[in-house]
């Protein structure tokens, strides 16, 4: 199994609270792990058949769609602002 390497760490905001977000390199995939207290949330950027990118939670959980959209946007902003 690939051992994850933390390649970046910053903060994201959810419901007015700050949470650590770690960028992990696992093999050839990049995952963002949000340090929610009870259980970390893992996000990854995927691409659909029309070559449009979108954020997904892994494992897939449709109940988290709004969280994924919001946090994915913040991650994009973090890198766009650099």
Query: Do residues 67 and 15 touch, judged by C-beta distance below 8 A?
Result: no
Stretch that binds another protein, among 11-19, 37-45, 73-81 (CB under 8 A): 37-45
Q: Give Cα 32 to chain centroid, integer Å.
A: 4
Among 16, 37, 38, 49, binds another protein (CB under 8 A): 49
59 binds another protein (CB under 8 A): yes
Torsion over CA: 57, 14, 20, 77 (sign)? positive
1 binds another protein (CB under 8 A): yes
58 binds another protein (CB under 8 A): yes
């Amino acid at each position: 199994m690939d051992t994850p390497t933390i390649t970046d760490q910053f903060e994201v905001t959810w419901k007015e609270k700050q949470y650590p977000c770690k960028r992990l390199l696992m093999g050839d995939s990049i995952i963002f792990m949000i340090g929610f207290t009870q259980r970390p949330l893992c996000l990854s950027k995927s691409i659909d058949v029309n070559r449009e990118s979108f954020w997904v939670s892994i494992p897939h959980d449709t109940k988290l769609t709004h969280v994924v959209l919001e946090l994915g946007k913040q991650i994009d902003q973090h890198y766009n602002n650099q």
